[in-house]
Structure 1
């Protein structure tokens, strides 16, 4: 059994919590800009003093409304300033936050409310409020941000004695419940992960004491746009706040590049799909300009990858440096400008980043540091950092954490970020720990330097009729790295060979039709058997097959009529495929690939 541990470069006292930083900033640096709120074409700064006053006002309102120490308060909203304000206010009142994705169904909301026994819910819109119509009796009130929840609570808490809030704050201990974060649930009902203030502080300080945390300093900017209901976005947001850097919120993915240029963030936190879209968008824009711009982008992309790979092998040659300088002037400088022009680096989590994409971004001057973690580890447990990066791995454990590989290849984790257990579910808690080590369900390998590589998901492992074990995840990631592919699901458990279900990226499909002389009105369903379209997708299959043995390679594939979506229950809110749902829903298409011709 191989293992690797990293010593913590920080301490956490028993009386600390994530919320105390609000008042420390206000006392020590009252004029420090900790947030920027969008208003028209500008940003309105929020000082540490102003933020502490707002947190105090809302917390007093929660107390006046009957929220007590240890109570749970649900928070359902898109990413916005008020999300963070309520998170801290709930903590200041001595309660715990229960984040709910704003894309959740009524059934999901009802289950989380019932299981958590939340006494109050904060929602963003009137539409969200309708999801709470069948809420359990434990829920006493629902307040809407768009209808003035901040102002209403602040006004309602005016008469709360100041000593009450102080008593609540003094009563919070590091090992108290801070948040119940429900797993996204690729199988079965979501389970509530018990995350304490110590868990969050371990995550925050693990980030800030590593070299990756040097970007989070007063005066620097972070744009938070991933869902704050996702523990990764929330953890990085908390680290940014504790360090005193400024952050802004944005939730509209369709305009995010405009906000990069407007806010000029010094780092960007994203999931792999965000970076894939940036690369694919740049490629489409170049190709739409004609053969010359398309050829220039292809040259620049190849040069970026070659340059990045050379950095790991003694450094680039003089010729490669010259090619890189040309590509920088023609392409890279424009891409960096599209990210705001001041981005030191990006951080990626929530899924696998292909090495090709990692080399492309490092080669153009914006390295992406990939990490790995779970809701159960309060977000990142391992991460690549400046000065210690191996592209294709998820890095080494952050300070205070350890990783080991069990005999069957499963990744097991320990450390300060690892949760206490599942809420009101002792059996699931017992099943997920092995003598204090968290069983992740993921398969991986550790190299001699302690860098972790993810090789698959234990429960997703396919065993063919011939007894060959096949991990579908890495192949799916490779296929999805081709811009024409939106989603890929590799199947073949118990079958004689491996097959795949593919969906086509809607934007790329429109361009493909133009390039191939197909009617603009034609749908994927109408062209799913088109020879040219299948040939294009076969390239992605061939690329994935080049990474595995013949027995593991994909022999057939089917193009689905439509993309997989969260709305149809095939994807989680964090864009993970619900494999069992997809396999069941498209069983006819799967069986068709095994029918004897």
Structure 2
């Protein structure tokens, strides 16, 4: 068993609630801009909000909450996208000692009912009429729910008006009695199997993560002498998004909000807001990379981009060896090639992200080493970190100046990590949650002698860097007894431009298989580039054969990273993607593996039946020969 703990951070310990940081900022630097909002939704014009203006908005809203009967310890749900109002209401609730319960706005009726009932919320803020109807349909099962506030119907203005008679001193007195160890957030897990569980997170735990990151990495958020800026677009309904919000407020970073994760809206916001630091998830970074590639192909410069991307990866790998003391860095020829592509390619790529991003952080799931090296090579180092809901969002981070791509870095100072004999990652530290709401048995099962059993599998190398290898419950055991972690294979498959999603299967089967969905944009471009001639049936047959061969190459590339016994032998391309709307993704975009396997049981059976009919024995790295004729229907 390997374990690692670094020295505790130098940041001052929390002595109050999370809302106090904005009051302190308003007192020390009243005119400092802390938030930016659009005057018109979707516009490219941002209006800055000073620390004192933000504080006053929070106080006015807190008075309305008090007038509405919100008391310390009450739980209030926020069911909205990442918006300016989310941040204001969240801090108003913390100011009066209430607990925030985030709910994804895309949650189903059953999920909304479960969270509101399990947490005992007294109020819920929703965005629109559709969400009001969702909550209204389950109100009969929610005896504690007193208020349903609709954001787009002016609910916050109405609350402010209701609280006009409440003295500001009342707000101040309530804020001062909020203790660091009181619960700030009840964040529900993704619910990939069974009911989601509410994780009670304290003010101290959330502040510890933010203050530790600011103490060790805050100086890289912007050029020297400039205020850092972050465009928040990840859901505040997830602990990662909540951590970003608190980190910006506590660290004095200018924060803008983008509720729409669509490519066009996000691109417009990045170009107009021009953040200095980017917080993202691997799927988004993969999509940005594929969009770079697609744009270059459409402009006839696909080959140039691919050469530039390869040079970026080689340059970053050489730079990494140098900073880790294992090499002399990029050679003369590589430096010259990199300098050429910097002028012709890399700076244009950075411009699509606003042109000011210096570094980024990736979380939610591990980032592939190839993708990490690509971004470092074009001038944006991505710090891959690790955390989970039960740890208030943070466990590890890449040590500044000693970054190692392909790992999730080292434990944060003050946090201890060890790997059990079975490979499970165990964590101990101030950010670990208080327990699962109303479920002491599950809490005892997760917390073992003060160590949180994460359910994740990983390994610590000799220098203390952690590598995530998968989820304990996701391990596939084939009929021959071979254990396979699907994450690495799925990650490699998704790097192919045509592959949108991948789910590796194979429990109690003779070999590993994969269910694959295609990227519709790349598929359309790929079909157009084929320029097949002949009648429709002939074209469709040749297109199907070409597509089968292309996906076969993607599978072979993924197989090159594992042993022959772990490689994918059969695959099936599905006609539609896994999505929240069809119940195959969680609201946090995690795969519902059990549901996917159940939904596509017939396709999986057919996929393995075709394996028994090849005309010749398969080569060790030849996946495509296992496919049946109509595998792409």
TM-score w.r.t. structure 1 length? Answer: 0.96
Alignment partner for residue 272 of structure 2, among 244, 262, 268? Answer: 262
Alignment partner for residue 223 of structure 1, among 231, 235, 255? Answer: 231
Name the counterpart of 2:17: 17
Name the counterpart of 1:413: 427
Name the counterpart of 2:630: none
Name the counterpart of 2:127: 124
- 1:304 equivalent in alignment to 2:312: yes
| SS at 1:210 equivalent | helix
- Whole-Å separation in 1 of the counterparts to 2:553 and 2:37: 45
- Whole-Å separation in 2 of the counterparts to 1:218 and 1:264: 13
Per-residue deviation, 1:528: 12
Name the counterpart of 1:175: 181
| 8 Å Cα contact 1:15/1:172 also seen in 2 | no
Name the counterpart of 2:358: 344
Per-residue deviation, 1:218: 6.6
Per-residue deviation, 1:12: 5.5
Name the counterpart of 1:238: 246
- Whole-Å separation in 2 of the counterparts to 1:562 and 1:184: 22
| SS at 1:576 equivalent | coil
Stretch deviating more after TM superposition (533-542 or 12-21):
12-21
Per-residue deviation, 1:274: 1.3
Name the counterpart of 1:321: 335
| 8 Å Cα contact 1:283/1:294 also seen in 2 | yes
Alignment partner for residue 78 of structure 1, among 69, 77, 81? Answer: 81
Q: How many residues align?
A: 591
Q: Deviations over 1:420-461 (max 9, x none)?
A: 110000111111122111111111000111110011111111
Alignment of 1:134-533 (within 5 A): 134-135=138-139, 136-212=142-218, 214-215=220-221, 219-253=227-261, 254=263, 255-290=265-300, 293-313=301-321, 314-517=328-531, 530-533=544-547
| 8 Å Cα contact 1:527/1:533 also seen in 2 | no
- Whole-Å separation in 1 of the counterparts to 2:312 and 2:161: 56
Q: Deviations over 1:513-562 (max 9, x none)?
A: 1112369xx9xxx8899111111111111111111111111111011111
| SS at 1:479 equivalent | helix
| 8 Å Cα contact 1:5/1:403 also seen in 2 | yes
Name the counterpart of 1:591: 605
Residues 528, 265 of structure 1: CA spacing in aligned structure 2 closer, same or farther, 3 A cutoff?
farther
Q: Which stretches in structure 2 are left out of the alignment for 5+ residues?
A: 322-327, 614-633
Q: Deviations over 1:147-175 (max 9, x none)?
A: 11221111111111333212211110010
- Whole-Å separation in 1 of the counterparts to 2:56 and 2:269: 28
Name the counterpart of 2:34: 34
| 8 Å Cα contact 1:179/1:195 also seen in 2 | yes
| 8 Å Cα contact 1:271/1:351 also seen in 2 | yes
Residues 164, 527 of structure 1: CA spacing in aligned structure 2 closer, same or farther, 3 A cutoff?
farther
| 8 Å Cα contact 2:527/2:543 also seen in 1 | no
Per-residue deviation, 1:575: 1.2
Alignment partner for residue 113 of structure 1, among 110, 113, 116? Answer: 116
| 8 Å Cα contact 1:528/1:561 also seen in 2 | no
| 8 Å Cα contact 1:218/1:243 also seen in 2 | no
Give me the CA root mean square deviation. 1.7
Name the counterpart of 2:56: 53
TM-score w.r.t. structure 2 length? Answer: 0.91
